[in-house]
Chains A and B, each alone.
Chain A
Amino acid sequence: MSDALIRFTGVSHRYRDGGREILRDTDFQLARGEMAFLTGPSGAGKSTLLKLIALLERPVKGEIVVDGQTLSKVRTRDVPAHRRQFGMIFQNFNLLPDRTVFDNVAMPLIIRGHSGDDIGRRVRAALDAVGLRGREKDWPVTLSGGEQQRVGIARAVVAKPRLLIADEPTGNLDPTMAAEVMHLFTRFNEVGVSVLVATHAIGLISRLPYRILKLEDGLLADARAATGDGT
Chain B
Amino acid sequence: MSGAKRVSTAPTAGSRWLLDHTRAIAATLDALKRRPFGTLLTALVIGITLALPAGLYTVLGGLDAASSGLKGSLRASLFLSDSLDEAAGRALQATIARKRGVAEAKYISRDAALAEFRTHSGFGEALDILSDNPLPAVIVVTPDAALPKAEAEALLDALTKLPAVESARLDREWLERLYAILAVIERLVLLIAGALALAVLVVVANTIRLDIAARREEILVLKLIGAPDSFIRRPFLYTGLWYGLTGALLACLMVVAAGLSLAEPAETLSGLYGAGNGIAVLSVDTVFAVFGAGGALGWLAALWTVGRHLGAIEPD
Contacts and interface: CB of A to CB of B under 8 A. Distances in A.
Interface string B213-224: 000011011111
A49 to B, nearest CB: 15
A111 B224 contact: no
Interface string A59-78: 00000000000000000010
Interface stretch (A6-14, A80-88, A130-138, A178-186): A80-88
Contacts of B126: none
A80 B230 CA distance: 11
A107 B222 CA distance: 8
Nearest to B230: A80
A56 B19 contact: no
A2 interface: no
Interface in A103-127: 107-108, 110-111, 113-115, 118
B1 A115 contact: no
Given A80-B228, A88-B225, A118-B9, A113 B20 contact: yes
Given A118-B9, A160-B5, A111 B315 contact: no
A96 B227 CA distance: 14
Main secondary structure of the interface of A (DSSP, over half): loop
A81 B1 contact: no
Interface in B2-55: 2, 5-7, 9, 11, 16, 19-20, 23
B229 interface: yes
Contact of A111 (B11, B217, B225): B225
A191 B23 CA distance: 33
B117 interface: no
A80 B222 CA distance: 9
Interface string A28-65: 00000000000000000000000100101100000000
A108 B228 CA distance: 11
B273 interface: no
A111 B316 contact: no
A125 B316 CA distance: 31
A162 interface: yes
Given A80-B223, A108-B225, 8 more contacts: A56-B224, A56-B315, A83-B226, A96-B217, A96-B218, A110-B23, A111-B228, A192-B2
7 contacts: A57-B316, A81-B226, A88-B224, A95-B221, A111-B227, A111-B231, A160-B5
Kindly list the 9 A-B residue pairs having the minimum CB-CB distance in the complex, ordered from nearest: A83-B226, A84-B226, A80-B228, A192-B1, A113-B16, A111-B227, A94-B221, A80-B226, A162-B1
